[in-house]
Amino acid sequence: MNFGKLDLSLIGLRRDVNINYFVFIAAEPPKKKVKPFNQMMKKVVFCLSGYQNPERGKIRDRALEMGADYKPDWGRGCTHLV
């Protein structure tokens, strides 16, 4: 069943025997897979525009630590312009 954004596969429904009403029991949602910090930007190829050193270097270094690839100039293969 689909009732809007409510996922009924995560909810159990039981009837209380002593009282004539239904009780919804929420199940724990599935755990999300968390990537390691050094793989968070694995498929990102970026270049920087409008930043001067030292900010430019800090941004580039942090993105590289997160697994991104850096290109000094915008071109084919770049996925992000920062």
pLDDT in tens, 13-56: 555 555 555 556 666 777 888 889 899 999 999 999 999 999 99
| Domains contained in the chain, number | 1
Asked if residue 65 belongs to a domain, the reply is yes
Asked if residue 64 belongs to a domain, the reply is yes
Asked if residue 22 belongs to a domain, the reply is no
Peptide bond into 54 cis (omega under 30): yes
pLDDT band at 5 (very low <50, low <70, confident <90, very high): low
Asked if residue 62 belongs to a domain, the reply is yes
Please answer whether residues 67 and 35 qualify as being in contact, where contact means their C-beta atoms are separated by less than 8 angstroms: no
pLDDT band at 2 (very low <50, low <70, confident <90, very high): very low
Tell me which residue range forms the domain holding 75: 37-81
Asked if residue 17 belongs to a domain, the reply is no
Single pTM value for the model: 0.59
Q: What is the CATH number of the domain that holds 42?
A: 3.40.50.10190
